[in-house]
Amino acid sequence: MASVSKRAIKKFSFFAQGCHVARRKRRPTCRAAAESRIFMQRSILLFIVFAFALLLVPPNLNAAPERPASNVAAPLTLQAVAGKIDRQVLASLQRGERTRALIVLAQQADVSAAKNLRTKAEKGAYVFNALRATAAQTQPEMRRALDQLGLSYRAYYVVNLFAVENLNAAAAIQLAARPEVGYIEGNPDVEFAQPTPSQAAAPESVNGVEWGIRKIRADKMWELGFKGQDIVVANQDTGVQWDHPALKNKYRGYDKTTGKAKHSYNWWDAIHHTIGGGANPCGVNIKKPCDDNDHGTHTMGTIVGGKGANKIGVAPGAKWISCRNMDRGVGRPNTYIECFEFFLAPWNRKGQNPDPAKAPDVVSNSWGCPTSEQCAPNSILTATENVRAAGIFVSVSAGNSGPGCSTVTDPSAIYDVATTIGATNAADALASFSSRGPVTADNSNRRKPDISAPGVNVRSSVPQNSYANFDGTSMAAPHVAGAVALLWQAKPALRGDVDATETLLFNSAFTGVSVANNLTCGGTAPTDIPNNLFGYGRLDIYNAYQSAP
């Protein structure tokens, strides 16, 4: 029971005597003292009752301690952001590994209005400015985030993305959670399918014009004075021996009057460190063209090469520029993207001051980014779309995985915006190795290839000032690139109009290509034009010229 303090009792006694005090001092009356005494008695009684009630209430021993409210969200996990991360990248991160990745931003530039512009120069400038503006608007915050995470990266604008090195799980979670990040894709090492040598080495030709040039009737265009003058072609490949006798005078950077070369705006090396392991024979970040394989020199020779009677190139009057996208045949999605960006608006040797007015007219691509090597099907799509929107013709080899159906599997060959090229031989038979459609890698069931061209026993330039014969769709794509150069010189109104150029090439192609065993693919037979075997037919550039308005 609660006890009453001595102080309270004393105070009560004082009020009990209050009437006597009042009489002596003549201040309070007895009545006032009595009222005060009654009030005090009631207060003490209430205090005693309240104290006793507290003792009777049992404590709630099971009640949880009261905690202050918190606004801190539960920590994110990889699983929470898995929808934004490529499954191969996600698997690496879940194993605790660091990996390379492409951080693709959600906002990509809309360049669709470029198709309404008349000239290639107008299209190129519009696309370049739109892409750069989008990057300038959306990338600064991401740069700060990447810097804070301590990640090394390279930013691009031909696709609005960042190529990141050594991405770990903690950083991936933070990046994927950002609203401006659309997706995180892989950036794997990709080895392309080397063409097969059909002859180890070959001397300078004594027969003049190579068979492939005659087959597509490019020599007929020469007779009319069209050799590709004032047209610029390009390849992204293993590099080029720029001073090869068949190529030196055709290099845009070479000045025949001074005998000197200027490589700014004409060459870029997207290989900034070795990919395949070991030292690269050309080095990395090289400032002048060099071929660490022989593939790039060979494909460039088929586009423009020639010296005297040694006529190996379809458009010997055109000029060429180049970008190395592979380290001894091994590239990455970001090296392919970087070369596309260079071609959109070439820059100087320091990688500065890009200029869309110096962009090539045609880009030949004899490489692939296989999904079998974890290359995401759409990783290079946006770059290919934007380069085409700029009025640049993109010729792409179909691949060498035939004769089975649905063997066109690699970007950029699988894309609708790429002109995909199969391979034929001197007898106008489809090469057994030439990849066929339909495309299933991206679930599109798209018909491919689009058209075919000579790709068997093709003789062209190789490093060491030599020549060699190769088999592959890698040899077919440069035939088409060179043919477009001839057509655009002959028909200037077509320059930069990729849609019209494709239509003309397709509708004028030779349709009598034979296919072993009359194979059908995707429900199309060799007699169905177009088909999933050789597309619309074998290229005939002279017929295309005659058919042009």
Q: Which residues are known to be catalytic? A: 237, 295, 474
CB atoms closer than 10 angstroms to residue 438: 18
SS3 state of residue 158: coil
CB atoms closer than 10 angstroms to residue 397: 36
Pairwise CA distance, residues 395 & 388, whole Å:
10
Read off the amino acid at residue 315: A
Which residues lie below 8 Å from residue 223, measured CB to CB, with a gap of 6+? Answer: none
Pairwise CA distance, residues 162 & 159, whole Å:
9
C-alpha neighbours within 13 Å on the C-beta side of residue 534: 31
**Burial class of residue 458 (count of CB atoms within 10 Å of its CB; 0-12, 13-18, 19+):** buried
Beta-sheet strands, E only, within 108-195: 153-156, 161-167, 181-186, 190-191
Q: Where are the alpha helices (DSSP H) in 158-266?
A: 169-176, 211-215, 218-223
Pairwise CA distance, residues 223 & 481, whole Å:
19
Rounded to an integer, what is the distance from CA 305 to the centroid of its chain? 30
Which residues lie below 8 Å from residue 349, measured CB to CB, with a gap of 6+? Answer: 263, 264, 287
